[in-house]
Amino acid sequence: MDSVEPVSAGIRRVGGQVRAEHHTVGVVRTLPGDVNQLDCACGITLTNGPGWSLDEHLRLHRAEVKYEALLAVAHPGMPLTRTGGRSPGARALDALLAGDTPAARWALTAVDDGARRRLAGAAGDLLALLGTVPTVPTEPADARPAEARPAD
């Protein structure tokens, strides 16, 4: 008989842990523009949007958290995509690059003041950086600084 458990104890615990830590608290808040918000016990504010319901946000939030928790306890040799969830700032930037300002606005709805300040600083840094990068590549295809490239 194989000595590997069919499902490890860590994997089994994840579902219950997610249900215990990610349940709604309080009552639905209705804001102008048909926006509804509800808090998760973990501190995230769940929001409906232009194309998704509050229930869908809750279900996907739980799924995202469960996936991250499963990755944390999965055997490190298991072939999985181990990228974490994208930050609200990254999702907002992706939406802006796609020309979808409303989606960018929704990506930032649950961002606290500290994160907003960091995002504003990063946006300023990006704007300053864009002014220093040539529009026509003048470096070799490997644009890393010379000291970061492997020696020939």
Per-residue model confidence as pLDDT tens digits over 110-151: 777 888 899 999 989 888 888 887 766 554 455 556 666 666
- Is the confidence at residue 56, as pLDDT, over 80? yes
The pLDDT of residue 37 is 92
- 118 and 59 in one domain? no
Q: At what angle do helices 54-73 and 9-21 cross, to 10 degrees?
A: 150
Give me 107's structure tokens: 């990506």
- 100 and 50 in one domain? no
For the chain, what is the mean pLDDT?
Answer: 80
- 12 and 65 in one domain? yes
SS3 116: helix
Q: Does residue 139 sit within a domain? A: no
- 72 and 5 in one domain? yes
- 95 and 61 in one domain? no
What kind and span of H or E run contains 37? strand 35-40
- Is the confidence at residue 35, as pLDDT, over 70? yes
102: domain range?
Answer: 86-134
Query: Are 63 and 78 in contact, with CB atoms under 8 Å apart?
Result: no
Model confidence at 100, pLDDT cuts 50, 70, 90, reads confident
Q: Does residue 67 sit within a domain? A: yes
Q: Does residue 19 sit within a domain? A: yes
Global pTM exceeds 0.85? no
Contacts 24+ apart (CB under 8 A), 100-105: 102/50, 103/49, 103/50
Q: What's the average model confidence in pLDDT over 76-80?
A: 74
Model confidence at 27, pLDDT cuts 50, 70, 90, reads very high
- 32 and 12 in one domain? yes
Name residue 35's beta-bridge partners.
31
Query: Are 17 and 42 in contact, with CB atoms under 8 Å apart?
Result: no
